[in-house]
Amino acid sequence: MSTVKACYDGSAFVPVGYVDIPKGTIVNISFLQEETINSMIAEKLVAFRQLTNEIHEINKSEPLAQEFDEIITARVDFTRGFDL
């Protein structure tokens, strides 16, 4: 049995810190309310969760086609140095 510290964001429990549990694992949760975090922290946790979900969705998309690299390489000279 393991203990995980988490914050309830109004719809789900969000772990506070890293949790080494495989995705899709079903767990039983029992809780002891330690404290109530302020609303600003709760809002940040919700925003972070939304951002994380969006990043996961973006990562599911197909990578750019080879033609993209060829077009960019033709338009930008990566071998020329920058004058500062």
Report pLDDT digits (tens) over 25-74.
888 888 777 766 677 777 788 888 888 888 888 888 777 787 888 888 77
Residue 19 has pLDDT above 80, yes or no: yes
Q: How many residues does the chain have?
A: 84
Between 36 and 6, where is the model more confident?
Answer: 6
Residue 14 has pLDDT above 70, yes or no: yes
* pLDDT at 78 (0 to 100): 66
Tokens of 4: 């995980």
Whether the CB-CB separation of 44 and 54 falls below 8 Å is answered with no
- Enter the pTM of the model: 0.38
Measure CA 2 to chain center.
23
